[in-house]
Amino acid sequence: MQYYPHPFSVDESREWIKRWLAHEEEHGFSLWAIEDRETMEFLGNCGPVVQIVDGEQHVELGWSVTPRRVRQGIASEAAAVWRDQCLGPMGLDHVISLIRPENAPSRGVAERIGMAPWKETTFGSQGWRHIVYRVDAHTTAFSVSAQVS
């Protein structure tokens, strides 16, 4: 939660989950939990969500990994799978990621999965500056490296 306005309370967490479940119902996709395949430990979340950026609708690929498991390639692996799903079976022509400039770990994930800075914008309730990373289907060779289930 370092790059969010503040850590969520239990009630805010419940509302956040409800919001993304409603998003899944409306759009057919949303953030999904990332779990350890062996232990079923919750590791974070990753997935595509609809965002309005500078008045235009885009699908953003977002990710977040629990602090005790960061820097282990988990976000990169999950984000690459979702990138492939979005640009392949889902048929999107591009996906973006909104990343605050000081969030070096997420900028690294975006770059590792083939995204590049596209533009800057202010975004969110705090009006913070974000770098908009983007990857286009027609400029990216991709293949599904793991199953999304």
pLDDT of res. 52:
96
The model's pTM: 0.85
CA distance 90 to 83: 10
pLDDT digits (tens, 9 = 90+) for 10-44: 888 898 789 989 999 999 999 999 999 999 999 99
Q: Is the dihedral of CA 128, 66, 109, 55 positive or negative?
A: negative
CB-based contacts of 61, cutoff 8 Å, min separation 6: 46, 47, 48, 79, 82, 83, 86, 95, 96, 97
pLDDT of res. 6:
57
Q: Is the pLDDT of residue 106 over 50?
A: yes
CA distance 132 to 117: 6
Of all residues in the chain, what percent carry a pLDDT higher than 70? Answer: 89
Helix %, strand %, coil % for the chain, to 5?
30, 35, 35
CA distance 4 to 10: 15
